[in-house]
Amino acid sequence: MLGRQAEAIFESIISASMTYKLLAANIQIQSPSKTIGELDYLLQDTKTKSQFHVELSCKFYLFDPRCLGSFEQQWIGPNKKDSLHKKITKLQEKQFPLLFDKHTIQPLKNIGFNPSKANQQCYLLASLYLPIGFAVQKLPKAYQKCVVGFWVYYHQLVLESHYSYALVEKKQWLQPSNTITNWCNANEIRNKILIALENKKAPHVYRKSGAVIEKFFVVWWDKK
């Protein structure tokens, strides 16, 4: 759902660009028996004629320093079904190599795309959330720019009466915060949060005071 929204935004920007020409989008690569993968975007620089294979990804990650492993393994999806490490691994082992698969040769030839000379890039549209109280300055600068909110365990959750709250559905996550209209009070949002947690879904909550809007997740995988 979010991926389709991100694609629409990306394609609109490329279509309006004077620098890049969109050669193809969402190219299905077929073997004789099945679809083996998809290439997101093939672009060409209108001046230099350089060609690019771009994989687009829209992700929401929570930083959990308790996770064992690399720094990338500590960035996980709100419901622990995804991680930055998994995304990078998939990109390196599947998505980028697909450009050079034998079944890709003819589809690329049809549009005049030369994989041997192309640049491969990933555009990762990332929204990052830190544990409440975690100093953003501890992160590399590239990550700091992507931090948009925080996350809490339910036992850390403080809901105050002077705030308005909204539980935001996933299809709305890319919308500007000022377009959200379904605001409610602290008691109402607590009930909605509890229902989500009982179903092992980490709710995405906005809270508003005046014109200031903050975002946070409440996770169901509570501290042991």
Check residue 68 and give its pLDDT: 87
Q: What is the pLDDT of residues 4-61, one digit of tens each?
A: 999 999 999 999 999 999 999 999 999 989 999 999 999 999 999 999 999 999 999 9
Long-range contacts of 162-167 (CB under 8 A, 24+ apart): 162/209, 163/207, 163/208, 163/209, 164/207, 164/208, 164/209, 165/189, 165/205, 165/206, 165/207, 165/208, 166/205, 166/206, 166/207, 166/208, 167/192, 167/193, 167/196, 167/203, 167/204, 167/205
Residue 224 has pLDDT above 60, yes or no: no
